[in-house]
Structure 1
Amino acid sequence: MTSKKKQQSHHFYQRQKQRLPTDTTIDEVVKLINNQLGVVVRKQSHRVTLWAVYLHDDFYIFPFDKNTKQVMTVLPQSSEYLASQRDRSESRAYF
């Protein structure tokens, strides 16, 4: 059975091929987040925080798992995705 950290790493590399222009390693992204060279977009849960990191002349959104100290994936970069997430979190505030 594979560990959660290995599964997250595998998932990251699958999405990285789809969404990032070059071969960026998970260690490079984690290093940027640990050095706080990104911006916290929002806290998704007690365990996961969304970070915007500037790579290759553009911002990319990375969910960071503080328990495994691992980037889980690369989120879609579109403004529609970010707007839908903002709307979703605002709608939860009313219930």
Structure 2
Amino acid sequence: MGRSRGGLTSKIHAVVDSNGLPVRLTLSPGEAHDVRLAGQLLSHLKFGSMLLADRGYDADWIRELAMKKGSWANIPPKRNRSDPICFSSYLYRARD
């Protein structure tokens, strides 16, 4: 019977500007949830900016952090979100 080898993986989390150029990079273990580093990554979020993030970042505290910094979080809602949120799929698609 073969041995299973648990490979080490990591994720690169990036904050990019409106041109897609990275302004902050952080590494995390591959099995770590995305939102663990959100506070650190968003600590320098500029007033009036728009936060475009993947569904994994859909958390009320992230939206509140963006609002406190004078920004808008356009993050698709998780499927289990019970309260409606403001989300633009058009702007979200433009992030690519």
TM-score, normalised by the number of residues in structure 2:
0.25
Larger Rg: 2
TM-score, normalised by the number of residues in structure 1:
0.25
Q: Which has the higher helix share?
A: 1
